[in-house]
Structure 1
């Protein structure tokens, strides 16, 4: 029972792709009838059409019908938006200034050694 269901599902999936082959098989099975009765060029035997014009029209109509069904199916398919980005909202607010402080401030420590006493040049050196 499972194999029957699986074959039916496989056939249902492959049926749209096998449809042109069915039209060609029908043409080959009824080639004489199509050439005598349905062919547009049956009055002109020198063209050797043999119903190929009928086959071409049927295949073209079938392709157009499948294209129309496909476009309708695509247009009716719901789309899922994966992300949303607000690109049209610009907010220009002035920056909030809390307090102006200099970027660098030197604050001498109370416990620092005085620099003036260490960096004195030697006085009155005698050069001999």
Structure 2
């Protein structure tokens, strides 16, 4: 394996750690295929960027009185909790991507200590019968 090409050069990471974190931050990308003459509703669970691919896309937001006509490559930033409606403009299916930073789910980790505390209290303080 002496002649194998390296797949990743770690020397690229030896610079500024904040810049590295921004560059290599884990991201989640959701691909939506929009069928012509159908509207899709989506509630955004994390701040994201919506990007149109292939053709024009109609987008409307719950907190905005304006409609947006996104051309190919246009990006609109959507805040967490917003509801958006998307539709393809034309007779062909269109792809839309929603890109956000990966958000770790921490609710499960918060519940476990409470569950352990309840079990400990059940063992130490049994109910009087």
Fold equivalence (TM over 0.5):
no
Larger RCO (CA within 8 A; separation ≥ 6): 2
- State the TM-score, normalizing by the size of structure 2: 0.24
- State the TM-score, normalizing by the size of structure 1: 0.24
User: Which one has the bigger strand percentage?
Assistant: 2
User: Which one has the bigger helix percentage?
Assistant: 1
Rg larger in structure: 1
